[in-house]
Amino acid sequence: MNLYKMLEEAIINDSIDIKEKLTRECLEYCSKNELTSPQPFTPVEFETPSYAKKCKIVKPNKLVTRKDFDTPKGLASLVHAIAHIEYSAIDLALDAVYRYPNMNQQYKIDWLEVALDEIRHYLMLESLLTELGFSYGDFPVHSGLFEASLDTSKNLLDRMAIIPRYYEASGLDVTPQILKRLENKRKIPSVKRLIDILHIIYNEEIIHVQKGDYWFKYLCKIEGKEQKIYFNILKRYKLLEKHRPHVNVSARKEVGFSCYEIKILGKIECKE
């Protein structure tokens, strides 16, 4: 079995069914094989994300922010935005295995498990989109996460800092705010279903960020670097000064952030 060819096919394919099938096969294989000496291969530098044929990609400032969740279209636009994040996260998790073959067996298993979680999240949201009368690709999207994967393709420490420890951790800040906005509309069946889905995603994303935190700290130790390098990395990617109106202190602490880090990120009080 050529693990890396299968991972490459899973990443570039826009069929969720194929992504899921290949991911399960890769996980089963990695669970039984250490792969300390990976087969020689040169990872592909992907030029476009796998969803490029499904979605119209625009700049983030061209996306319309919808606040009307009482209409199917208004709610669908929110569901679509979240589904797009989950879809993007599938490819990012697969790429974390594909692009860094020298990492150990547990690393590979961790990110393949994350990919399967993201697939399940996406499928729940896609089902809700269908109920609302829409499909993935009916609304414009941006490719920010894909671009972040390109930017960090040569440096795994940067990848763990930027993807799970910055972007995915930011989801732990944002999701409770979305849930608050939806709460007074939970009598609407589709809104209630979205709330339930978001709770599932939130709880499992905590585990994902914990994994990212573990591997970030593991790499810091292996490379002889202090964990404070996190802020140097964020600064290099022009992410440190981005405004964070709501920092989820309890969730951040649960996934491995220190109060020192939380105070810098959110300019907020935090006690160990």
> What is the pTM for the complete model shown?
0.95
- Residue 134, sorted as left (phi over 0), alpha (psi -120 to 50) or beta, turns out to be beta
Contact between 56 and 141 under an 8 Å Cβ cutoff? The reply is yes
Collapsed DSSP state (helix, strand, coil) of residue 246: coil
Digit-coded pLDDT (tens) for 7-46: 999 999 999 999 999 999 999 999 998 776 556 678 899 9
What local confidence, expressed as pLDDT, does residue 38 receive? 58
Domains of the chain: residue spans and CATH: 3-35+51-266 (1.20.1260)
User: DSSP letters of 81-122?
Assistant: HHHHHHHHHHHHHHHHHHS-TTS-HHHHHHHHHHHHHHHHHH
Q: What is the mean pLDDT of each run of 10 residues along the chain (272 residues)?
A: 92 97 97 72 91 94 76 93 97 96 94 98 98 96 96 97 96 94 92 97 98 98 96 94 83 95 85 76
